[in-house]
Chain A
């Protein structure tokens, strides 16, 4: 277990380093950040002073060296635009994104899993065909379009749900959340649904194929021969088996939800990491972009670890091999 842990850790470090190099120099290729920061009425001297203050007057190689040096002291640099430490900016926004991702993931499980299992149990019913057709739609419709449609229908035409923002937040254990008030739920409903749509479709497919496979297994027949009720067979025997692949996929999907909710956050003006990233890219705010990438990589590594642990909880066969190794 320990050696496995170190291997993972080493991989993560390598990925982070590679990403830093790419992003750091990549941003410079796009343009010199300094031109985004100055205002037209600044004179040459003021520009030079700004550049010097941000360390942008030095050659790129030297800038990189300073950045790495700061990294070892736990300093990811300050945002050019906001003047705050980049990492704090991101962590400050992370809560909102996490909340959105969790809400979307829950939706995927609550809606997708039962639908998929139903379709797997009764593949020939018309309802199942409808579900499957719906999931194809969910896969192929572009997120931004669905987001706009959701706003059109639910906010503009029916006027049930707010189209933008996060609503009022409460602070619990130092974390801001909007999940404690009805108003907060109303605000998160649309963006979460938009984000979840793809995952619901994915979930339906996974649950369906898993269920169909499990249904054909001898242990299901044996369970029937034991005289178990069909509901028990589905809940205990089938569900437990299909959860194994589902957990893996969902875990990774959660990572991508957090990291790439950019589109949804932009459409619904959700004040999360994705929106921050977009602004940072527009303004070539290099420290924020780099910090963002690092956070995402760390997040993925962390999620992978959790998946592996969950995996061994769900699948006893994994536990055994782990103990032997």
Chain B
């Protein structure tokens, strides 16, 4: 989205939306896409809404940024959006300020804002981590429903693999800023190819044996400024060999639209992961 603060920038790669290349788009072009084609929802709902502006102001400006409508029409659309995300008494709540909402409600408002212009894609950056579990699942269900209704694609960035299992069609696992494995959610979660994915799955409480300490991935994530020369995961990987430390693995394509970036991927059929394996 071109929202990363300096010194962060796009080093390489390509981002396509509906066939349109986004990398290298100028500020004007990018602005036209933000909020219109691609919307974002951020992690902390307490911080994403401007505390001194009323909800309706913040919603109408999102509409105004992309099209010319009368204030009345915009207001009506804002109210509709609030109703869609399940905010009671939407007409009154439009006049409220962010601090008059609870965390969950604020995140709903943020979602409503993201939905305002019927984007083709919503990127949600850990949108439920700051909320408690019951609210989390409500929001999750709402998002799923809304995206299904409007045919909006959703990229959900999260640490929570149970959310992934319930929500996603495809999953992409990232480590140290790079994609390490992608595939359909069942394939990846049941038969991970990459040691990092497997490590993640193994550290889930539901995967462990009751009474035993959870398995961990040893070590810490490296600083993005000082990545090792070879595979970024090599210092923490059990399967690491000499080549891993030397060269960064290329992506290898596997059947069923899967990809993994690893010199020694697990064979997806021979090495299933889970309780049975122990």
Contacts and interface: CB of A to CB of B under 8 A. Distances in A.
Interface stretch (B49-57, B73-81, B140-148): B49-57
B3 A226 contact: no
Given A222-B42, A316-B97, A317-B99, A228 B62 contact: yes
Given A227-B66, A232-B65, A237-B53, A218 B34 contact: no
Contacts of A224: 1, 3, 34
A199 to B, nearest CB: 24
A227 B35 contact: yes
B61 interface: yes
Prevailing SS type, chain A contact patch = helix
Contact of A217 (B3, B39, B40, B47): B47
> Which among B35, B52, B97 has the greatest number of chain A C-beta atoms within 10 A?
B52
B193 interface: no
Given A240-B50, A240-B53, A227 B40 contact: no
A55 B32 CA distance: 80
Interface residues of B, number: 31
Interface string A196-232: 0000000000000000000001110111111111001
Interface in B40-91: 40, 42-44, 47-54, 57, 61-62, 65-66
Contacts of B43: 218
A222 B49 contact: yes
Contacts of A317: 51, 97, 99
A314 B110 CA distance: 23
Interface string A216-254: 011101111111110010001100110010000000000
Contact of A219 (B1, B48, B97, B100): B48
Contacts of B39: 225-226
A242 to B, nearest CB: 10
Nearest to A321: B99
Given A237-B53, A240-B50, A316-B97, A225 B44 contact: no
Nearest to B28: A229
B113 interface: yes
A320 interface: yes
Contact of A218 (B31, B44, B61): B44
A315 interface: yes
Contact of A237 (B50, B66, B97): B50
A144 B48 CA distance: 47
A217 B52 CA distance: 13
A316 B66 contact: no
B97 A228 contact: no
A156 to B, nearest CB: 48
A127 B48 CA distance: 31
Contacts of A244: 52
Nearest to A217: B47
A219 B99 contact: no
Interface string B104-135: 00000010010000000000000000000000
Interface in B12-37: 31-36
A37 B35 CA distance: 77
A222 B53 CA distance: 13
Nearest to B62: A226
A187 to B, nearest CB: 39
A244 B97 CA distance: 16
Nearest to A317: B99
A222 B52 contact: no
A315 B110 contact: no
Interface of A: 217-219, 221-229, 232, 236-237, 240-241, 244, 314-317, 320
6 closest residue pairs by CB, A with B: A227-B35, A218-B47, A227-B34, A225-B40, A226-B35, A316-B97
18 contacts: A218-B44, A219-B50, A222-B48, A225-B1, A225-B3, A225-B35, A225-B42, A227-B33, A227-B62, A228-B35, A229-B31, A229-B65, A237-B50, A240-B53, A314-B52, A315-B52, A316-B52, A320-B100
